[in-house]
Chain A
Amino acid sequence: MQAYAIYALKRLAQFVLVVFIGINLAYLISHATPIDPVEQTVSAATSFGNASPEAILMMRASLRELYGLEGGAVSQYAAFWRRVLVGDFGPSLSAFPTPVSTLIGRALPWTVGLLSVSTCLAFALGNLLGGLAGYFRESRILKLAGIAAMAVHPIPYYIVAFVLLIVFGYLWPVLPISGGYRINTPWGWNAEFVLSVVTHAILPVASLVLVGVGGWFMGMRSLVSNIVSEDYVVYAELAGVSRGRILGAYVMRNALAPQVTGLAMSLGSIFNGAIITEQVFGYPGIGTLLIQAVHAGDYSLVIGIASVSIVAVSVAVLIIDLLYPLLDPRVKVA
């Protein structure tokens, strides 16, 4: 138990480091610009509508305060951190006066849902097929599956999502290609609404799974083809333990630990993929919100989403890290 506490503390320290560096990067990027974000926001905001000069003046003053551009560098930096830690990024400009945190809070469940479903599916499918492919090396079908996974894997999320959109949106329009649920469907736990949520999620999930599955497949296959010559596998084979048991409890079980480490490592890039996929299918999550915010020139919303993304991904990684010892009993002593 004490060993686990030490391990957990180390992971917690890494979590703090990730958030610290990530937020600092966001701060650096947002402040290392030759352009005054306030002026830019004002001009972006005024270019759409016809605001009165007084309104612009007021806006400018409140924006200065809002963005933490008042005072010296130190107080600006402190203000930035305070906003991140409290989770208050002020009101959104494009959806004034709704607070940024409310907008993010509304979008986040969609993204978390999309991400967790597609990541779990891709992880399970890729590892299962990869494990089988590594263990039954002669199987034709699994070899073909490997080639298919290899062909899709290097293609970026956007292109895969785009191709799916074209195929199922224009060539063979059987699935909804936009939104998170059918508009005008009453919210709640009724069959109609749930069904519309599921059908709307199929294409976004499919594009994330298609790209994701290849990575897990190849990782698992190469891990398995190494593990099959480990002593404990050879020994179990010598003991005549059944192939199913060997594959499940010996080979894949031991390959799972490094794969889960890999999952924690790649959550960031999976998140990137989700943002892009959401945008392609107009899914009402963080990604679509981010792109909208950029187009609307909503500075506080962009900063808010970037910061929340960093924290959210780090939390997910931390959770995986903390659960990891369940998978590998050796961690506790290390």
Chain B
Amino acid sequence: MSAPLAKVADAERVLDVANLRAYYQTWHFGVSRDVRAVDGVTLHVDRNEIYGLAGESSCGKSTLIRTIVRAIRPPLAVVEGSVRFDFGGRACDIYALDRARLAGIRWRHLSYILQGSMNVLNPVRRVRESFVDFAFRHIGKPMPQFLALVEDHLARLRLDPAVLGSFPHELSGGMRQRVTIALASVCRPDFIVADEPTTALDVVVQKDVLALLREVQRQIRSSMILVTHDIGVHANATDRLGVMYAGRLIEEGRTGEVIREPRHPYTAQLVTSLPRIGDIEPKQGLDGAPPSLAAPPPGCRFHPRCPLAMEMCRREHPPMVEVAAGHRVACWVKAPPGGMAAP
């Protein structure tokens, strides 16, 4: 699986996820079930890189990143695999850390922008208090200097420091999201995870928030995972792109390459669903619905909806195969292991 080219980049890796499986394991009134929300995902993120994660709703992308940052609570549990971070030479397996060391890493090295920022700020606390709660102990300065630093940071992101005195409900959705981004970057972390940061916003605000996000990444030179179902956002913001379907990673490569030349039939559908200027053809939708993660189909999980499905696809899950430098695909048809890609 590992190509020679990847070896060089190894030293620059900030995040390494290997064969990660995370299931929701529930037992209720006699019905027990495993929902395989993340099922054998392997990926890595390099320093100073924005890695995009795409896929339709409930494909497991939010669960994947929740697992990556160890924000899981029962019934979600990691069944297999590892998540390793490397913050400037200090490598660690996030699931091997004790509570204190984990708390030391959080926000200082690893911060997070949560999905649906309507409720991510404590509704009964002013924004200033959230900054103090989240970042004060990492900065190691007395309170007045700390607050001055926060105000500087806000000013750099062109945010009015007056927001510090507000309650979250007094801010607009876009403003709240901007405040969250400022909050997530105030400690200049090495790694930021952004889960659907633009989803709940209207288009104009979306654009600004995205610009802010890239601005932040450029200023503090952190790595980032950006999760959104919106391919347009990926095309504008991310360096590399991973596509998930039904709990598995099915394609990964440089964003431009994946969008220009999608290999997996699902990615192809996802990309062609993007409207382009000058389009007059009616859009072709996908038939059927994504499979239940509690009882996924055998073989390739996409085969019931795939126009190219063969016998093999129904039996066995395809492995990730490198089809070009850094471009990996899991598809029996488009990327048969050890063989030439079918036309």
Chain A residues at the B interface, C-beta cutoff of 8 Å? 228-232, 234-242, 245, 249-250, 253-254, 257, 327-330, 333
Contacts and interface: CB of A to CB of B under 8 A. Distances in A.
A329 B105 contact: no
Majority SS at the chain A contact face: helix
Given A231-B114, A234-B71, A240 B122 contact: no
B123 A241 contact: no
Contacts of B114: 231, 234-235, 238
Contacts of A257: 124
Nearest to B102: A240
A230 B106 contact: no
B104 A235 contact: no
Nearest to A237: B71
Contacts, number: 73
Contact of A245 (B71, B133, B169): B133
B122 A242 contact: no
Contacts of B73: 228-229
Contacts of A330: 123, 167, 169
Nearest to A251: B122
Contacts of B124: 253-254, 257, 327-329
B44 interface: no
A239 B169 contact: no
A231 B71 contact: no
A333 B114 CA distance: 25
A242 B125 CA distance: 16
Interface in B82-133: 102-107, 111-112, 114-116, 118-125, 129, 133
A228 B73 CA distance: 10
A257 B121 CA distance: 17
B167 A329 contact: yes
B134 interface: yes
A253 B69 CA distance: 26
A232 B121 CA distance: 5
Contacts of B120: 231-232, 235
Interface residues of B, number: 29
A235 B112 contact: yes
Contacts of A333: 169-170
A240 B104 contact: yes
B71 A239 contact: no
Contacts of B135: 239
B169 A249 contact: no
A210 B260 CA distance: 70
Nearest to B168: A232
Of the listed residues A235, A237, A249, A253, the one surrounded by the most CB atoms of chain B closer than 10 A to its CB is: A235
- Interface-central residue, A238, A242, A245, by most chain B CB under 10 Å: A238
14 contacts: A231-B118, A232-B119, A234-B114, A236-B122, A239-B107, A240-B104, A240-B105, A240-B107, A241-B133, A242-B103, A253-B122, A253-B125, A254-B122, A327-B124
A161 to B, nearest CB: 37
B123 A238 contact: no
Interface string B129-172: 10001110000000000000000000000000000000101100
B119 A231 contact: yes
Given A231-B116, A249-B125, A238 B69 contact: yes
A238 B119 contact: no
A278 to B, nearest CB: 37
Nearest to A234: B71
Nearest to B125: A249
Contacts of B105: 240
3 closest residue pairs by CB, A with B: A240-B106, A240-B103, A231-B119
Given A234-B114, A249-B125, A329-B169, A239 B106 contact: yes
A150 to B, nearest CB: 21
Contacts of A234: 71, 114
A237 B167 CA distance: 20
A229 B125 CA distance: 18
Nearest to B114: A235
Contacts of A245: 133
A162 B71 CA distance: 50
Contacts of A229: 73
A239 B133 contact: yes
Nearest to A242: B103
Contacts of B170: 333
B119 A241 contact: no
Nearest to B103: A240
Contacts of B134: 236, 239, 241
A306 B112 CA distance: 58
Most buried by B among A240, A253, A327: A240
B122 A239 contact: no
A320 to B, nearest CB: 17
Interface in B51-80: 69, 71, 73
Contact of A249 (B103, B106, B112, B122): B122
Nearest to B116: A231
